């Protein structure tokens, strides 16, 4: 998959969303191309170059029936990992991404006293803003608009000090797109005990596997809290590193995503392609 500029990603994301919303109708290439104002040949080349698979193949991977199959397969993987002492594939992500919670003072005071370094970098899914304290990554989001991304960071830590510079934490975080699992990535996050528990549970979902909100709630011992779990999944402050994109509805419907639904579908399709 190539590193994409934001305009190209926006076109591909729009095409992906159209494919997903009209999957039952099996739209052909010309129909999808018309929706994003490209000729079919141009869309085919751009889509293949960006995603590494054809629109038709993408359509196969994002159908609701395939998502349901993935949910069932994921449950089997989770059961196998549990039987093996939680040392199976479900723990691979957890082995290299670690969460350290902020102190109550840091949490309540909007990051007062924290010095946060932030950096913009290109990824296959568009530009990314990554921010880190002296202890680890505290914020990561897709930055389709730089100013809006910076505003979101400042709103998360209104009383912190900010410096635009790149450091080792930023570089480690960006490895998730090129060499996942190749090094430790410490996260330094503010959150309630419930939020931290949900985010920790998300780390146990391996690439190519999916979880439903209800199943995730059961995993943390709160089977009746699926709605609260959904809210916490949606407030995940670090895109991709904590894989909230791997949680979908029981029905197999992908659902929304804090950083654009087309991006979530693209992330899942690529992972499912690799797991096929």
- Which candidate, 108, 102, 93, places its Cα nearest to that of 138? 102
> Does 113 have pLDDT greater than 70?
yes
pLDDT tens-digit series, residues 170-216: 999 999 988 766 668 999 999 999 999 999 999 888 887 889 999 99
Reduced to 3 states (helix: H, G, I; strand: E, B; else coil), residue 189 is strand
Q: How does residue 221 score in pLDDT terms, banded at 50, 70 and 90?
A: very high
Q: Over the stretch 79-110, which tens digit does the pLDDT of each residue have?
A: 444 333 333 434 434 446 889 989 888 878 88
What distance in Å separates the CA atoms of residue 205 and residue 250, rounded to the nearest whole number? Answer: 16
Model pTM score: 0.83
Residues with active-site annotation: 244
pLDDT the model gives residue 70:
72
- Domains of the chain, residue spans: 6-61, 65-275
Q: Above 80 in pLDDT, residue 263?
A: yes
CB 125 within 8 A of CB 226: no
Residue with tokens 């039987």: 83
- Which region among 14-18, 51-55, 131-135, 234-238 has the lowest average model confidence (pLDDT)? 51-55
Tokens for 159? Answer: 């009383």
pLDDT band for position 13 (50/70/90)? confident
Superfamily name and number for 6-61: Homeodomain-like (1.10.10.60)
**φ, ψ of residue 208 in degrees (nearest 5):** 85, 0
pLDDT at 67 over 50: yes
What is the pLDDT at residue 61? 72
Check if the beta carbon of residue 248 is closer than 8 Å to that of residue 71. Answer: yes
Q: Among 117, 121, 133, which Cα is nearest to 165's?
A: 117
The matching CATH number, chosen from 1.20.1250.20, 3.40.50.80, 1.10.10.10, 3.40.640.10, for 65-275 is: 1.10.10.10
138 CB-contact burial (10 Å; exposed 0-12 / middle 13-18 / buried 19+): buried
Residues 133 and 71: their CA atoms lie apart, in Å, by: 36
Burial (CB count <10 Å: 0-12, 13-18, 19+), residue 243: buried
Query: Is the pLDDT confidence value at 265 over 70?
Result: yes
What is the arithmetic mean of pLDDT over 159-169?
97
**Which helix (H) or strand (E) is 122 found in, with range?**
strand 115-123
Decide if pLDDT at 36 tops 70: yes
Most trustworthy range by pLDDT among 6-15, 107-116, 234-243, 245-254: 234-243
Q: What is the model's pLDDT at position 76?
A: 56
Query: Are 6-61 and 65-275 equal in CATH topology?
Result: yes
More confident residue, 240 or 180: 240
| Helix 40-51 with 6-21: angle, nearest 10 deg | 100
Q: Which structure tokens are listed for 61?
A: 């991977």
């Amino acid at each position: 998959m190539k590193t994409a500029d934001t305009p190209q990603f926006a076109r591909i994301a729009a095409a992906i969303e159209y494919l997903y919303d009209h999957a039952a109708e099996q739209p052909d290439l010309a129909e999808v191309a018309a929706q994003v104002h490209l000729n079919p040949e141009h869309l085919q080349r751009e889509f293949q170059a960006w995603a590494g698979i054809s629109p038709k193949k993408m359509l196969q991977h994002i159908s609701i029936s395939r998502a349901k199959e993935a949910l069932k397969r994921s449950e089997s993987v989770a059961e196998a990992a549990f039987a093996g002492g939680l040392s199976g594939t479900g723990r691979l992500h957890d082995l290299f991404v670690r969460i350290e919670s902020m102190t109550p003072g840091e949490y309540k005071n909007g990051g007062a006293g924290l010095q946060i370094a932030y950096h913009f970098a290109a990824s296959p899914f568009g530009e990314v803003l990554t921010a880190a304290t002296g202890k680890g990554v505290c914020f990561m989001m897709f930055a389709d608009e730089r100013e809006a991304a910076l505003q979101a960071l400042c709103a998360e830590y209104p009383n912190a000090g900010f410096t635009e510079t790149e450091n080792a934490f930023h570089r480690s975080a960006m490895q998730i797109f090129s060499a996942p699992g190749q090094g430790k990535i410490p996260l330094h996050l503010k959150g309630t005990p419930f939020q931290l528990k949900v985010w920790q549970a998300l780390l146990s979902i391996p690439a190519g596997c999916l979880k439903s909100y209800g199943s995730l709630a059961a995993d943390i011992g709160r089977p009746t809290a699926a709605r609260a779990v959904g809210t916490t999944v949606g407030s995940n402050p670090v895109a991709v590193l904590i894989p909230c994109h791997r949680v979908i509805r029981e029905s197999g419907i992908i659902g929304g995503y804090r950083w654009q639904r087309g991006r979530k579908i693209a992330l899942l399709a690529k992972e499912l392609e690799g797991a096929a």
